[in-house]
Amino acid sequence: MPDLARIQSIVVARPPERSAAILVLRFGAVEGARTLLGWILDRTPAASGGAVRGAAVMHPSLTWSGIAQLARDLDGLDPATGAEALEPWFVAPLPTHPVELGFVGESAPDLWWEGRWSSADADMTVHVLAADDDALDLAVAALRAEAERNGVAELSLAGFAGGALRGRVPSDGVLHFGYRDGITRPAIDWAGEGSAPVDFREILLGYPSEDYPISPVAPGPWQDFVRDGTIGCILWIEQHVHAFEQFLDDTVAAVRGVAPEGLEREWIASRILGRWRNGSPVTRWPDEPPAAADTDDAFGFADDPDGARCPLAAHIRLVNPRDDRLTPPLRAKFPKGPPRLIRRGFAYGPPIAGPAPDGVPRGLVGVFFGARLNEQHRSVLRWMQATTINDRFGRAPYSGTMQDGLCGVRGKPGADPRHVLPREGGAVEMRLRDFITFRGALHVLTASLPSLERLATGR
């Protein structure tokens, strides 16, 4: 069973620190990379607790390129064998079918990372967390100095102060689009004792079973290496907040007489996400939000099969279908229910100050943990870009090429930009716009502490 002393703490529990940065690094000489990794591990807490050095914490993760370089001389960890044992989607640095994931147009991989470097250039990421910005500054400066001493280069970005992905976890949980976030958190049975509804195999590698055939399936050195680690998907998502607010203004006329008078803008926003902006689900509060936010997450969609209360393409309904009836192929693929992911990350950029576009970038750096890159991370991305998740999308007024109301990339070829709200007497339809752009994506292994220690020592 999983051992919390082996697992990086960020995987099991949401960190208390609010200031955050992610540095992306490229190795030089292997010995320098090993030394740097050992220095970082002194600052990496385990899920079981324990003191770490310094006022900030650091969580290292490795791309396949980084793993292959550090594992090359270790007994049993031949990279050629590892490339066959691990998911091919993890081993490949870039997606082979980017369009189906929404990585098209301004979100295309050749435009990622401001065009300064490619995801294929990255060997390691370090997620740095601190109580405040001053402590974060000191920790990032120390990490950069240690990296430079050891010949490890930083892949920097011009659009962030200091050159690294950087921001804050909002204390009230409200992100730039105005929605309260962080309400839905999967309850993971970390001990494997049935104490929580979600099997730890949804998150952790190294424990394949019949229901969770997680790579590497065959016992051996590579299965041992990945055990108690997880695959992290880092997404840099720019949020076009002014465009979203303008869309709400422009669409008010279309819902007059349907939405409650005076609540038209917020009613539209609630149908795009599936929650009112205070976090209350529209399945329980279809007409107006309660005075006090309803954050009880125990609700489903099975009693709303046509989307009369929560549209079928609402964001929360696509990324976490709950008890919605999936198509037969998806039910076969996910016998224990739709995929669950652990979310970590932070917002960047200031809140908007008024209705006029200000040209200031803002958005979200998302970090999503799961055991299967293709069946979890990428399934959710595919569902956001083409709504084939349940058979109801195959019947009017829906279509299987509709998209997530909030996160669909409308430039995807053949995409249906409509957002449908079924009503008696005929559906209300909105024509969606682009509210986000994917500015970069990386997939990494957030490995166990013993496995990282082995890479750092070369033994």
- Residue 185: CB atoms within 10 A of its CB come to 12
pLDDT category of residue 160 using cuts at 50, 70 and 90 = very high
157: left (phi over 0), alpha (psi -120 to 50) or beta: beta
Q: At what angle do helices 241-255 and 264-273 cross, to 10 degrees?
A: 110
Question: In degrees rounded to 5, what are phi and psi of residue 85?
Answer: -80, -35
Cβ(28)–Cβ(151) under 8 Å? yes
Q: Which tokens sit at 428?
A: 């209300």
Q: Is 230 helix (H, G, I), strand (E, B) or coil?
A: strand
When comparing pLDDT for 54 and 85, which is higher? 85
Q: What is the pLDDT of residues 75-134, one digit of tens each?
A: 999 999 999 999 999 999 999 999 999 999 999 999 999 999 999 999 999 999 999 999
Closest among 67, 371, 12 to 217, alpha carbons compared: 371
User: DSSP letters of 283-340?
Assistant: TT-SSS--SS--------STT-TT-SSS-TT-HHHHH--TTS---HHHHHH-TT-S--
Q: What is the pLDDT of residues 225-269, one digit of tens each?
A: 999 999 999 999 999 999 999 999 999 999 998 999 999 999 999
| 3 state SS of 237 | strand
> Would you state the pLDDT for residue 425?
72
Q: Is 96 left (phi over 0), alpha (psi -120 to 50) or beta?
A: alpha
Best CA proximity match to 443, nearest among 341, 317, 349: 341
Where are the alpha helices (H) located in 174-217, listed in sequence order? none
- CA separation for the pair 159, 155 (Å, rounded): 13
pLDDT band for position 1 (cuts 50, 70, 90): confident
Position of tokens 């198509």? 327
> How much is the pLDDT for 424?
73
3-state secondary structure of 33: helix
pLDDT band at 423 (very low <50, low <70, confident <90, very high): confident
- Measured over the CA atoms of residue 277, residue 283, residue 285 and residue 286, the dihedral's sign is positive
Run of H or E including 418 = strand 418-421
pLDDT tens sequence across 294-303 = 999 999 999 9
Q: Quick one: pLDDT band at residue 441, thresholds 50, 70, 90?
A: very high
Render pLDDT for 349-374 as a digit per residue (tens, 0 to 9): 999 998 899 999 999 999 999 999 99
- Quick one: pLDDT at residue 446? 98
**Which segments within 116-159 are labelled E, that is strand?**
124-130, 153-154
Residue 172: Cβ within 10 Å count: 8
Backbone angles phi, psi at 219, to 5 degrees: -60, 150
DSSP string, 243-257: HHHHHHHHHHHHHBT
The per-residue pLDDT for range 278-295, each reduced to its tens digit, is: 999 999 999 999 999 999
The pLDDT value given to residue 51: 80
Measured CA to CA, the distance from residue 87 to residue 72 in angstroms comes to 19
Neighbours of 211 (CB within 10 A): 11
239 φ, ψ to 5°?
Answer: -110, 125
Residue 395 tokens read as: 């019947």
| Mean of per-residue pLDDT scores for the chain | 95
The pLDDT of residue 50 is 83
The answer, yes or no, to whether residue 275 has pLDDT greater than 90, is yes
Residue 415 has pLDDT above 90, yes or no: yes
